A and B are shown apart, each in its own frame.
Chain A
Amino acid sequence: MSRFNVGYLVGQGAKGLFRNGVLSVAAIAVLMACLVVLGSFSGLLYNININLDKIALLNEIVVIVDYDCDDAKVSEIEDTILALDNIESITFTSKEEALEQEKNRYGEYSDVLDLLDKDNPLPDIFRVRYASLAGVSTLVYELEHIDGVKKVSNRSDIASDIENVKNGVMRVFIGFLAVLFVVSVFIIINAIRATVQSRSKEITVMRYVGATNRFMMTPFWVEGILIGLFASILAFGIQWYLYNYIEVMISNGYKWLYIVPFADIYLKVLIAFVGIGVLTGLFGSLISLRKFSRK
């Protein structure tokens, strides 16, 4: 393509956008909605992940050792635990340390626990942190079956519930998004087809005078790209407003939840929106021109 025609072809593409005002606006609106939904769900999942990391303390299993175990046996249990998969770290708390911690907790009333010094009822325990939630049930099973272990207690249920919510959100998100993208591509295809129809005489003359397919199709590609570009810029503005609104709401009402500031992610969001918007617009153009380009 000659460099002399770049401006001309981009101008023709922009004209096409205005020529089919209603269809173009519809295509931009649907694609914009699609991007806002994509951005909102992605933001939600991203923040769930961040908060899951923050509640990593829940990823802890307490292994209670049989009261009768001597130091050698406790050491053997520690070695066995360390040899298991999915172990991030373990911390040992002896029965004496546990009693001391309890006394500290009781503060000025700790005297009541002095009676227990001679006959400490507290067990030795291991606090085990696991690497991945996925293998927790196996790990718990293995821990329960170590000789000398009396009981295994874990809080993986809460982490698991959050993980389940995340997976559910993901499924709804993918389904919803797929439908929206199909609808927006369909509308873009029709917008471009309407332009092709309205320019059929021009296309015929161009073909007869020897215009290349690329020259004839570039304005339609430009039109698709512009639809994607406008949709992504509008979606970014809406996303910014929505995110900030939710950020303020959460930081005021749910202080225990952490939400990543939009300022930290705005560039990634903008690049993703423009990339996806432009590619979707271009994809719609290519599909609507498939038949035409074969001529």
Chain B
Amino acid sequence: MIEFENVRMVYPNGTEALSDVSLKIDEGEFVFIVGASGAGKSTLLHLLLREEKATDGTIRVGDYDLSTIRNRKIPYYRRKLGVVFQDFKLFDHKTVYENVSFAMRAIGAPSSLIRVRVPAILKSVDLSAKYKSFPTELSGGEQQRVSFARAIANNPDIIIADEPTANIDPEMTFEMMNLLLKFNKLGKTVIVITHERGLVNYLKKRVITLDKGRIVDDTKGGLANESL
């Protein structure tokens, strides 16, 4: 479970990015977080990743209280999360296989486990045939699937996708969403940060709308707010 309780975030320059935000996301939920530019979506993401610490309020993710978590525990907390980046953040000098295995290496997984797990993950995202390819040899959709494969490499409980369809063409968008839904069906929590109304309306999942740092709408099975 993810729980924000009266969370307020003020940056050192005085900008109040989030004001009195309270929300609960249950385990296994699929949630869209939407809002215009400057609404507070990125701040919410940074708080969830514990890159920033909330000025006020508490944030709990599973057993972790992000307001009191010790710095040395943060890496272990982040292993519960998988992040899909808008710009993919793939390494051009590494192959598809190396890009995915990198996530496992980074947490000290043994080579024997990497050798078994990475091919299985690549198969699940339909990239087995391209394991030797470099990102520059792949389409935008394929690159995003590599990014997704890397995000799930360490078997996280929660996937956070930051504008996952911003840099891919429309037909690949639904392919990407299918992967997220497939992951969600395994009982994992999926949070998608986006401003694509069509996508949100099509999937009819829970939608949390932010505006000027506040939650202005939270609808289950709903549509994106007209202001989006």
Q: Taking beta carbons and an 8 Å cutoff, which residues of A are in contact with B?
A: 1-2, 4-5, 8, 201-202, 204-213, 215-216
CB pair B110 A212 closer than 8 Å? no
Q: Of B76, B81, B108, B150, which contacts A5 at CB under 8 A?
A: B108
Closest to A294 in B: B71
Is B124 an interface position by the 8 A CB rule?
no
Residues of chain A contacted by B106 (CB below 8 angstroms) = 205-206, 209-211, 215-216
Q: Is chain B's binding surface mostly helix, strand, loop or mixed?
A: mixed
* Assembled-state Cα–Cα distance A202/B102 (Å): 9
Residues of chain A contacted by B154 (CB below 8 angstroms) = 209-210
Mask of B75-108 contacts with A, CB within 8 angstroms, 1/0: 1111101110000010100000000001101111
Q: Taking beta carbons and an 8 Å cutoff, which residues of B are in contact with A?
A: 49, 72, 75-79, 81-83, 89, 91, 102-103, 105-111, 150, 153-154
Closest to A211 in B: B106
Residues of chain B contacted by A209 (CB below 8 angstroms) = 78-79, 82-83, 103, 106-107, 150, 153-154
Task: List 27 A–B pairs whose Cβ atoms lie within 8 Å, in order of A's numbering.
Answer: A2-B110, A4-B108, A4-B109, A5-B108, A8-B105, A201-B89, A202-B91, A204-B89, A205-B89, A205-B91, A205-B103, A205-B106, A205-B150, A206-B106, A207-B78, A208-B78, A209-B82, A209-B154, A210-B76, A210-B77, A210-B78, A211-B75, A212-B72, A212-B75, A215-B106, A215-B107, A215-B108
- 4 further A-B pairs in the complex, CB-CB below 8 A; given A4-B111, A201-B91, A210-B81: A4-B109, A205-B103, A210-B106, A215-B106
Q: Is chain A's binding surface mostly helix, strand, loop or mixed?
A: helix
Q: A202-B91, A205-B89, A210-B79 are in contact. Are A5 and B102 (CB under 8 A)?
A: no
A292 to chain B, nearest CB (A): 13
* Assembled-state Cα–Cα distance A29/B66 (Å): 46
* Assembled-state Cα–Cα distance A213/B71 (Å): 10
B113 to chain A, nearest CB (A): 9
